[in-house]
Structure 1
Amino acid sequence: MSTYLIGDIHGCYDELQSLLAQVAFNPEHDTLWLTGDLVARGPASLDVLRFVRSLGDSVRLVLGNHDLHLLAVYAGISRNKPKDRLTPLLDAPDADELINWLRRQPLLQVDEEKRLVMAHAGITPQWDLATAQMCAREVEAVLSSDSYPLFLDAMYGDMPNNWSPELSGLSRLRFSTNALTRMRFCFPNGQLDMIAKEAPESAPPPLKPWFAIPGPVAQDYTIVFGHWAALEGRGTPEGIIGLDTGCCWGGTLTMLRWEDGSLFVQPSNRERMIVS
């Protein structure tokens, strides 16, 4: 019985299957953790969703910003961009089932026995674990409710960018969503910057990667995240693991076996592209 953690798949179904074949993944015995962004940019988002859904209780995933964007597109709130290659999924006969399954997935995974936390973008240093769990549950509750289109219509935006327990309503939900699915850089006080996307060494001062600012969660748990392909899985401190290695951009799909720390890599089938 092994636990495997995989970075952003982004519709790269063939690479996912090849990566799982490297370790003879068996859903009857093994568990798969996925850092989110299952869909968009790659060629086979529909196949990825169908496969991941078929795994049932043997998969633990979190939603990423591209997964949320898919929900907004399906709800008629956002535009279907050709570069996201979502049309086959949107037109599929089981699209409604897949979308309703997807919007009921979590934004945060916590395993107390393993002392392991996973979120798509990471954990803002302004949160302790109890706050992160509370904020994730609030977003999950509205996504799984009949009023989810109202939230999806209001989730786009960069403000507020500073956590306060006094935040409420859609502003609170937007901050939590940005922190869990879009965050890369923070100001030294932990306030989010939602503009910079480059590699850490190219960021304008005083911005720092969120993981370079001490936070309470990182003191007690290993944090696994995706989202930031420009890192190429490098440059994080001990106990914080970035697994997005840009498969949809021509990089690789990376998997970590939790029990022994072994890494497995599957090269992309696509030509290398510049990450943006």
Structure 2
Amino acid sequence: MTLKSGWMGCAALCSLAMTTQAFAECEKPPFYGDFGYSVCKDWPAYPGLTITALSQFESGYSASDSGPEGKYDLDLAVVSAGVSQPLATYRKSAAFESDAIEYKDLQLDTARYKLTPELRAFGVLVTFSGSSRVNPVSEKMLSLFVKEGDKLRPVLDKLLIDEYGGEWDGSCAGELYHHTRTVDIGKTSSHGYADLIVKTVTTRDVGKGEGDACESKSTTAKPVLTTLRYDGKSYVLPQGFKGLQ
């Protein structure tokens, strides 16, 4: 479940126990500010556990229909029904910045990211997009987290899994690109963590001419496989694979 809020949440009046109970029941985590996103999802890899994510507006206000421009924090938790405190947490201030390219969505990804025989990661997906029709831009980024004791630790930071952009005249002439990436678990490992195999598919659309004379062509390149290796702290991303937000 995901919620975008443009009003003051009632959570400031709620106790920690009530908030934790809401998390455990996979209800939308409450807001303490005016704008942001909240989401929760059961973790199939660990029955009985729920992952929650809350990203709230921090600073730099600019009123608009879609929300303020500025910085957003990120709070993650793994919770269990009947337990009064989260089992593990993560917090980062100014995790994202929304400006001309706006912060549009927050999701959780519980695919089978099995990094060791005993350890599975979960994903946090964030989406940003611009409003320009002739210079479109859209980015969806994946970060992976693992549970270590009572902490959640990021091991993959903002891998671009969907990227769209380019420049055209809004009618025909110009060039647009679209990169899509999928992540699989490799059979090899680095520093004890499985390597990640990223498959990139790129589509390009090129248009020339005007009106009835418009000619457009779409081409899809052969998929490219890239191996991401863990360096002991995180997976290393090649140039162009990491989102800027």
Q: Which TM-score tier does this pair reach, normalised by the shorter chain?
A: under 0.3
Higher relative contact order (CA 8 A, sep 6+): 1
- Of Structure 1 and Structure 2, which has the larger fraction of its residues in helix? 1
TM-score normalised by the chain length of structure 2: 0.24
Which of the pair is proportionally richer in strand? 2
Rg larger for: 2
